[in-house]
Structure 1
């Protein structure tokens, strides 16, 4: 029994070690904010978002990924669905620069260099950092870096030899309530103390990625 287990482990390790197919490419799409200002829809891109993406295909279903994204996040109470927000009339803009690492899990086997593994839906789980402008306790703006957790879904397919395209949408939890210019320590300033102090900000990236695959093709025999 022990010998059989060692054989299985050896097959898995040697198969994975030869899986050195990498992907690199670009993201283009849109962004939207979810919080105390503007529209209350969760996915409603209203600003251009761009970035880069790199991937390492660990198995045909598990891919490690790194992303760097930029957008000018924006919203305005004129876009809100509630009369309260529309009458309040707040708005904001914020330059967002995000870097994150994580994993992409495909529902079906996928490879840009193997016949038959040409398309699949997938889910995304990452952890990263976001740099943005915030208002400090003296009312002045400053740049802040904070933890962010992106999670999302997507669908990817082979476009041509070694080239893939994907559509994805992922939401970010920021652990902060100040991306929209909020600061609840500035008591009496309605431009910076609004909304629910116990509700943190979110934002969303929705768009397409186009990647090019390179490196030694993976040998995935026996690997899920």
Structure 2
């Protein structure tokens, strides 16, 4: 909780500071798709697996620089059973999780793009980077039963359901009127956690089973759900050796710019 309060406080302070200097304020919404790279998808940087949407408030400091606060929601998932890798299929892990992200991002426009009226360019490619935080809660489904994996300590350790994220990416902006603009972008987030997918280290020395109750009547080995006896491997490697997962968004959106009485000065 302390991490989340600090992140929100710093983000709001930076945004309001930028807003006091900005000559043009911009608000927008976007929709698109989300995906992830990690222990169940180590190689494909375009493996989109869920819907995404978001909103932002941005202060345009001049035709090239902007700073804003962004909220994004997405859902990611993957399943070893559908993998082309036979070792992954025999491992038989799966997960899904919602992502709730709040971040502070800085845009740099490559062209002389005015977010309101009067710019010399009606479009520009741009890049962005920033800092933020993300909430997640991985779940797995076996034999029709869903389990919140974090509470079972499937690798014998507890991890937080929030983490620092570093967003970065690129896109294109199009001005369609004095106030309205369209944009599309692809952005990646490096996460200071290896547990978006509940997989990050080694198999525990003792198997971890899901609870048995009216809602969960079957015994499920959540740490090692492989159907193959030879996959029993206490202390062996369960995921890959990279220490950080990555998630990403592809967005298309629309924004409205509130133009101040004065234009940018140079």
- Match runs of 1:39-188 below 5 Å: 40-111=43-114, 112-133=116-137, 135=150, 138-139=153-154, 144-182=161-199, 184=201, 187-188=204-205
Q: CA deviation at 1:75?
A: 1.5
The offset of 1:143, in angstroms, is 6.3
* TM-score, scaled to structure 2: 0.69
CA distance in 1, matches of 2:257, 2:264: 16
Q: Residue 245 of structure 2 corresponds to which residue in structure 1? A: 201
* Inter-partner Cα distance in structure 2 for 1:133 and 1:100: 19
Q: Gaps spanning 5+ residues in structure 2: where?
A: 1-19, 139-149, 206-222, 226-236
Structure 1, unpaired ranges of 5+: 1-16
Separation (CA, whole Å) in 1 of partners of 2:190 and 2:261: 36
Tell me the CA shift for residue 186 of structure 1: 5.9
Matched position secondary structure for 1:46: strand
Q: Give the CA deviation at 1:114.
A: 1.4
CA RMSD of aligned residues (A): 2.5
Residues 93-115 of structure 1 show CA distances to partners (whole Å, capped at 9, x for unaligned) of: 01110000020001011113114
Deviation at 1:121, TM superposition (A): 0.4
Deviations 1:70-100 (A, max 9, x none): 1121112245343322343322101110000
Q: Which contiguous aligned blocks of 4+ residues in structure 1 show a shift greater than 4 angstroms?
A: 136-143
Partner of 2:36: 33
TM-score by length of 1: 0.81
Alpha-carbon distance between aligned partners in 2 of 1:130 and 1:94, rounded to the nearest angstrom: 11
State the distance in 1 between where 2:192 and 2:160 align.
Answer: 16
Answer yes or no: is 1:190 the counterpart of 2:224. yes
CA deviation profile, 1:11-37 (whole Å, cap 9, x unmatched): xxxxxx875111101010000010111
2: CA distance between counterparts of 1:217 and 1:101? 26
**Residue 195 and residue 183 in structure 1: after superposition, are their counterparts in 2 closer, same or farther (change >3 A)?**
closer
Counterpart CA distance in 2 for 1:160 and 1:41 is 38
1:105-140 C-alpha deviation (Å, 9 max, x unpaired):
010111131143210000010100101115257459
Count of aligned pairs between the two proteins: 205
Q: Which moved more, 1:38-47 or 1:112-121?
A: 38-47
Bigger strand share: 1
C-alpha separation in 2, matches of 1:205 and 1:154 = 12
Q: Which moved more, 1:88-97 or 1:194-203?
A: 194-203
Q: Greater shift after overlay, 177-186 or 210-219?
A: 177-186
Q: How far, CA to CA, are the matches of 2:42 and 2:82 in structure 1?
A: 5
> Is the 8 Å Cα contact of residues 19 and 217 (structure 1) preserved in structure 2?
no
Which is bigger in relative contact order (C-alpha 8 A, separation at least 6)?
A: 1
